[in-house]
Amino acid sequence: MSKKVIITRDSTSDLPLDLLEKHNIKTIALGITLGDKTYHDGVDIDPDFIYKYHEENGVLPKTSAANIGELTDFFAPFVEEGYEIVHFTISSKMSSTYQNSLLAAEEFEGVYVVDTANLSTGEALLILKAAELAEEGKSAKEIYEEVTALVPFVDASFVIDNLEYLHKGGRCSALAALGANLLKLKPCIQVKDGSMGVCKKYRGRYIQTLEEYVNDRLSDTSDIDLGRVFITHAGCDDEIVNTVVKLVGEKASFNDVIVNRAGCTVSSHCGKNTLGVLYIRKTPLQ
C-alpha cells in the first residue's frame, strides 16, 4: 500500500492561499533581502512593501535560495509523520534551490524533487496537477514521473511595462532599457528550457500591448489544454486585469480561470505592471 503523499513547494510558485489550503500544499519561503534585513517571501514581506521601499530608497531586493539545512528541517516533520513528499522548485537555471533541495532530499526516503524549469504560476500549473493526482491516490513516485513529463508542455510568458527593475537587477543593459523606454517597447518574456528570453517586443500603451499579447497567445487554441489558465500580474490596476480576463474569456473557453497576484520573487525582478497568461499545451513548447 502506498504511503500518504504531501505536495510541497518553494514560495516562487505564486499560488493563491485558498488553493494552498484546499490541497494542503506546504511552502518553504525563499529569502528577500532589503538593505541589511532579510525577510521571508510571503511571510513577513509582500510586493507592495518592495515597491514602496524602492520608491523611497532606490534599492531593489536581493533574493536568496533556501539552503540545505532549511530544506532538511522543512522536509523532516512530514517524513516523521509518515508522508512521502513531492517537492517543486523554481527552475534550476534560475536558482540553486533545486540543487539544494536534491541534496536535502538525500537525507530521507520518499522525497522526490521536481525541477519545474519555470517560475511563478508556470510552477503552479504543475503543482496543482500533482495535488490532484495525490487526491486520486497516486503514489509519490507516480506523481513525480507524471508531472516531470509534463514540464515541457507548460507555456509561461509575461509582458513587462518598464525595464527599470530588470536593468537594476543586472538582467538588461542601461542602453537597452533606455531605448525600450523611449520607444515605449514592452517586451514579452517567454520561459523556455528553464530560462527566460524575449520572444516579442510590443509597442504602445500597456493595456493595448496586453490586448495584442493575449490575441497572439490565444490565436489558436487547438493545441492548448483548456483545463486551467492563470492570469498572473504584479500589481496591475483593476482596469487592466479585468480587460485581460474578459479578453481571455472571449478567446478561449478555459474551465478554470485563476486571477492571481505575483509574489515577491517575480515582483523583485520584473517590477510593477507585469502580467502573464500561463497554461499547459497539448504538445511540448517549441
For the chain, the first-to-last Cα distance in angstroms comes to 39
Q: Is 175 inside a domain boundary? A: yes
Among 94, 117, 151, residue at a domain's last position: 151
Same domain, 119 and 239: no
Radius of gyration, CA atoms only, the chain:
19
Q: Is 190 inside a domain boundary? A: yes
Q: Which residue ranges of the chain lie beneath pLDDT 70?
A: 1-2, 163-184
Is the CA virtual torsion 179, 166, 264, 90 positive or negative? positive
**Grid-cell match 509597442, residue found:** 203
Q: Is 39 inside a domain boundary? A: no
Same domain, 14 and 127: yes
CATH of the domain at 128: 3.40.50.10440
CATH of the domain at 168: 3.30.1180.10
Among 151, 166, 184, residue at a domain's last position: 151
Q: Is 52 inside a domain boundary? A: no
**Strand residues in the chain grouped as ranges (E):** 4-10, 26-28, 31-34, 37-40, 62-64, 83-89, 111-115, 154-155, 157-160, 185-192, 195-203, 224-233, 256-261, 274-281
b/e map 258-274, b = 16+ CB within 10 Å: bebbbbbbbbbbbbbbb
* Residue 270 φ then ψ, to 5°: -110, -25
Same domain, 11 and 133: yes
Same domain, 133 and 119: yes
Structural domains of the chain, count: 2
- Sheet order of strands, 83-89 included: 26-28, 4-10, 83-89, 111-115
Please tell me the distance from the alpha carbon of residue 50 to that of residue 267, in angstroms, as a whole number: 8
Specify the long-range contacts of residues 141-146, CB closer than 8 Å, at least 24 apart: 141/84, 141/112, 143/5, 143/7, 143/86, 143/112, 144/86, 144/112, 144/114
Same domain, 197 and 141: no
Same domain, 76 and 201: no
Q: What is the pTM assigned to this prediction?
A: 0.92
Q: What is the pLDDT of residue 184?
A: 63
**Closest listed residue to residue 119, CA positions, set 146, 151, 142:** 151
Q: Is 206 inside a domain boundary? A: yes
Please tell me the distance from the alpha carbon of residue 181 to that of residue 64, in angstroms, as a whole number: 29
Q: What is the pLDDT of residue 185?
A: 76
Please, are residues 98 and 75 in contact by the beta-carbon 8 Å criterion?
Answer: no
Q: What is the pLDDT of residue 98?
A: 97
**What are the distances in angstroms from CA 272 to CA 66, 137, 249?**
25, 40, 24
pLDDT in tens, 241-264: 999 999 999 999 999 999 999 998
Here the cell at position 107 is 537525507
Among 110, 131, 151, residue at a domain's last position: 151
* Contacts with 237 (C-beta within 8 Å, 6 or more apart), sequence order: none
Q: Which domain holds residue 135?
A: 4-30+65-151
Q: What is the pLDDT of residue 269?
A: 76
Q: Is 208 inside a domain boundary? A: yes
